[in-house]
Structure 1
Amino acid sequence: MEFRDYVRALRKGWVFIVVLTLLGIAIAALLSILKTPEYEATAKVFVSVQSTGSISDLTQGGSFLQNQVKSYADIVNTPIVLQPVIDSLGLDSTVDQLSKSITASSPSDTVILEITAVDGDPDSSARIANAVASSFESAVSDLVPTNAEGLTPVKITVLQDASVPAGPASPNVPLYITAGALIGLVLGMGLAVVLYVLDTRIRNEHDVEAITDAPIVGGIAFDARTPENPLVLRDDPRSPRAESFRTLRTNLQFVGLEESNSFVITSSIPGEGKSTTAANLAIAMALSGQSVVIVDADMRKPRLASYLGIEGSVGLTDVLVGRAQPNEVITRWGDTNLYVLPAGRIPPNPSELLGSVAMVNLIRSLEKSFDVALFDAPPLLPVTDAAVLATKTGGALLMVAAGRAHKNHVRGAVTALTNVGAKVAGVVMTMLPTKGPDSYGYGRYGYAYGYGYGIDEPDQSGETDRKSRGK
């Protein structure tokens, strides 16, 4: 994954990040409430050397104590120190239990021991710390034998009595909240990245480019109104979505498609907007001054006749079986340069008809008679119709629906075309989101939405949007 993929993953998974961060804070707050407060009290003792010798002897003794004072700290948690504390304070605990609440440490390069007691009661923590310090003083006196001069070489002096703490040392609420937030944040970010990696759906042009080298020639934004108003160039010609089809028409002129004037419009799976795109692209091309014929070659679930509002009972099937001539069933759409050949009746053998000599002859005839010939074909993965047809035209325009098509779908569709020697002329991304991390503005592929002006000027050929209203 590249850096931009991680950024996209975090943007897409912001809900998980926020929820888990808040959950971490909530759990930390709950633990802070449920945890029993603990108070710490610290007494300090000074370890010194008693000697009647010279200053040099005292200095050497002090250096020795600095090296040995950590060993003295270990004595604090032994029964010889703690048992007298239990007896004197009447504590209801064993030496092992009390030892867990007592710590002794020495600041670096000093002969001072800090004895800290932890207890649920502030007064008790101070009493225990002071009692341990006093017991430690007595224990060292008993453990260290006197020297020849009758003195105990090591002397323990209570330097500072423990005072009653003003507030609990634990739980540290700010620390708990901060730790909970950080843990939740890390978990949320990790979950967002994992879900992004596991998501096999096509989200953006980067996903398509990782699958095929075919150029991405256009992008069509998602519009929930498309099922009711499929012909946006007729119903809403000044909308950004209508402009995206004009941009697609323009982009097709710069990807080498001038080598052939016929191509198949297909997709990997149903529901990716191929028929809607085919119809609107044909209208956009016709409005640019080109003579365009669009053929409904989806003889399994034909849609173009209903989209364009023409009679579709007689069409391609009748031409291929010899019941009609092309000029008898091709219909002009309104007063435009667009001509439509509907599918006609659904035959029992669509693949055989599309691969027949009659279909090849029809394609060649349409290529000679029209500037552009478009064939709306079925999806590639369920049936072979589109792949068969693509070998007889200039190639296929593959529709890829963002958020619907999966990577293996697109990979399978490209493989189905290349296996039969067909060309993937270009990819058109459909159903692009208008919001969120995968949304696009008016960018390098002409994703034309999100800007706030109308399309009032004439089309490239001088045709106005008045004509794009169709019939």
Structure 2
Amino acid sequence: MLCSIAGSTIRRARGLWRNGSEGAELNLQDVLRSLRARWVTVGLTVLISVAAAAAITVLTTPMYQATTRLYVSAAAGGSVAEMYQGNRLSQERVLSYTELLKGQTVAQRTVDKLGLDMSAAALSANVEATAKPDTVLIDVSVRDTSPIRARDTANTLSDEFVGLVRELETPEAGTPPNARVVVEQRASIPTSPIAPKPARNILAGLGVGLLLGIGLAVLREALDNTVKSRQVLEETAETGVVGSIPLDKERRKEPAIAYESDNSAIAEAFRKLRTNLQFLAVDNPPRVIVVTSSMPSEGKSTTAINIALALAEAEHNVVIVDGDMRKPVLHKYLDLLQPVGFSTVLSGGASLDEALQKTRFEGLTALTSGAVPRIRANFLDPWRPRSSSARCGRGSTT
């Protein structure tokens, strides 16, 4: 019986999410699983986003804002009707005045008055005028990198606007103006900048980083077609798993397990694997077991040796054959001679009985790889290795 520990060739996982159905829809459990598996990605993305937000905050030049408040009134008579009409005219003028405050005429007067090193257009871009709903009040705000200059500019701009309105609303010399503007509240030196806002920027960086991290984690999990669990392996390969051996990096130093005195987790795992192999077909016990792997250096030699030792522990006569013609290591692990072995038998240089070597383990005989041939294509005829393996199987219980 031919039994492969890894099962048949593993096909690539299908679908974005490996839950046993092709093209499965995304659900909350999938997202949570992705976050658990990719928490490092999420954490790094959050850290990078927060660091970027902090850097932007530090590198951004502070901007200060000073605000004045203007009061608008229109000429009116002493009667109630005339006073109401005057109030209506004042409210109507407020909307027009807010546009004039943001214009370049009053801005140019302010630049000339203060001798500012900027154009009227540049100043206008930093002026904001807003009217309070259903009132005759206008708030004028000026932004600047200097808190003192912001205050001086706001106050001067308001004073210049008062003069501009007086000119516009006085029809003839000597007559009272139709409307007038009074500076109701002058600007003071701002104590803190309006930008940047460190707390707001950090929170924004945290939120953006979290969203990007979650999205990146979900995307990486969706595009990841590697096999990471027994369930995924069984679903992908459409076959059962015979055994699972825990990873033990220290096993490289001493690959062969001394089963007579070893009750470790890895030894028990190989014993369980031995039992599963024996019961794969009770009426037709396995005679030949092939151990392979999808990539080099995945531990197939260590696995093969310990399966053989586990079977020998159960009083089976076992022959282990090293068919690795690239980097054979069986002879090193078992302290055997390499020159005469599997390649020698395949080339007809020695008989199988002559090439077999006894090991220091009771019940275990080994056939090393032999000399590594320069041209390996001559040894790739599948019938020749199979014939030798079958002869080993006939000569041993397993």
What TM-score does the superposition give when structure 1 sets the normalisation length? 0.62
Q: CA offsets per residue over residues 147-178 of structure 1, 9 Å max, x none?
A: 9xx76554433322222223333343333444
CA distance in 2, matches of 1:146, 1:257: 116
Q: 1:95 aligns with which of 110, 120, 127?
A: 120
Secondary structure of 2:164's counterpart equals: helix
CA contact (8 A) 1:295 1:341 kept: yes
- In the alignment, the residues of structure 2 paired with residue 221 and residue 108 of structure 1 have an alpha-carbon distance, to the nearest angstrom, of 74
2: CA distance, partners of 1:100 / 1:85: 14
Identity percentage of aligned residues: 32
CA distance in 1, matches of 2:200, 2:382: 76
Q: Secondary structure at the match of 1:268?
A: coil
Indicate the SS of the match to 1:267.
coil
Report the CA distance shift for 1:238/1:65 in structure 2 as closer, same or farther (over 3 A): farther
Amino acid aligned to 1:245: F
Deviation larger for 20-29 or 118-127: 20-29
What is the SS of the residue equivalent to 1:266? coil
Q: CA offset at residue 231 of structure 1?
A: 1.6
- Following superposition of structure 1 onto structure 2, how do residues 420-431 of structure 1 map, counting pairs within 5 Å? none
Please state how far the C-alpha of 1:113 moved relative to its aligned partner: 1.2
Structure 1 position 297, deviation (Å): 2.4
Q: Is the 8 A contact 2:54 2:201 kept in 1?
A: no
Distance of aligned partners of 1:118 and 1:339 in 2 relative to their CA distance in 1, 3 Å threshold: same
Contact 1:20 1:188 in 2 (8 A): no
Letter in 2 for 1:86: V
Determine the structure 1 residue equivalent to 2:328. 302
Deviation at 1:7, TM superposition (A): 1.6
* TM-superposed deviation, 1:282: 1.9
Q: Is the 8 A contact 2:110 2:157 kept in 1?
A: yes
Partner Cα separation in structure 1 for residue 237 and residue 65 of structure 2: 66
Decide which of 336, 340, 351 is 2:366's aligned counterpart: 340
Q: Secondary structure at the match of 2:324?
A: coil
In structure 2, the partner of 1:142 is: 167
Q: Aligned equivalents of 1:26 and 1:10: distance in 2? A: 25
Q: CA deviation at 1:225?
A: 3.1
| Counterpart residue number, 2:96 | 71
Is the 8 Å Cα contact of residues 76 and 85 (structure 2) preserved in structure 1?
no
| 1:44 to partner: Cα distance | 1.0
Alignment partners' CA distance in 1, 2:328 and 2:129:
86
8 Å contact kept, 2:317–2:396: yes
Q: For residues 12 and 83 of structure 1, what CA distance do their matches in structure 2 show?
A: 56
Q: Which residue of 2 aligns with 1:47?
A: 72
State yes or no: 1:28 paired with 2:56: yes
1 CA distance for matches of 2:116 and 2:224?
A: 61
Q: Residue in 2 aligned with 1:394?
A: none
Distance in structure 2 (CA, Å) of the matches to 1:357 and 1:40: 88
Q: Distance in 2 between matches of 1:256 and 1:108?
A: 89
1:270 to 273, 296, 302: 296
Aligned Cα root-mean-square deviation (Å): 4.3
Q: Deviations over 1:50-98 (max 9, x none)?
A: 4338646655765676566343211102243233333443444332232
Q: Does structure 2 retain, via aligned residues, the 8 Å contact 1:24–1:183?
A: no
Counterpart CA distance in 1 for 2:186 and 2:218 is 54
Contact 2:66 2:151 in 1 (8 A): yes
Q: Structure 2 CA distance, aligned partners of 1:63 and 1:370? A: 112
Q: How far has the Cα of 1:116 moved from its partner?
A: 0.9
For 2:384 and 2:117, the matched residues in 1 are separated by: 102
Q: 239, 246, 271: which one pairs with 2:264?
A: 239
Residues 119-161 of structure 1, C-alpha deviation per residue, up to 9 Å, x if partnerless? 34433322322222233233234334669xx765544333222
1:258 & 1:299 partners in 2: Cα distance? Answer: 34
Residue 55 of structure 2 aligns to which amino acid in structure 1? Answer: I
Question: Conserved in 2, the CA contact under 8 Å of 1:236 and 1:242?
Answer: no
**Alpha-carbon offset, residue 281 of structure 1:** 1.9
Q: CA deviation at 1:215?
A: 3.6
In the alignment, residue 74 of structure 1 is paired with which amino acid? E
- The change in CA–CA distance for 1:73 and 1:279 in structure 2 (over 3 A counts) is same
2:305 is aligned with 1:279: yes
Cα gap change, 1:128 to 1:324, in 2 (>3 Å): closer
Which residue is equivalent to 2:153? 128
Change (3 A) 1:332 1:91: closer
Q: Which segment is superposed worse, 57-66 or 215-224?
A: 57-66
Structure 1 pair 137–301 and aligned structure 2 pair: CA distance change class (3 A): closer
Instruction: Give the structure-2-normalised TM-score.
Output: 0.71
Give the unaligned 5+ runs of structure 2. Answer: 1-15, 17-29
Q: How far off is 1:43 after superposition?
A: 0.7
CA offsets, 1:164-218, max 9 Å, x none? 2233333433334444555666666777777778888766557756853344444
Q: Is the 8 A contact 1:42 1:114 kept in 2?
A: yes
What is the alpha-carbon distance in structure 2 between the residues aligned to residue 199 and residue 68 of structure 1? Answer: 65
Distance 1:356 1:160 in 2: 98
Deviation larger for 108-117 or 354-363: 354-363
Q: How far apart are the structure 2 equivalents of 1:24 and 1:9?
A: 25
**Deviations 1:12-59, CA, capped at 9 Å, x for gaps:** 436743652564255235315xx2x43321111133444338646655
Which residue is equivalent to 1:117? 142
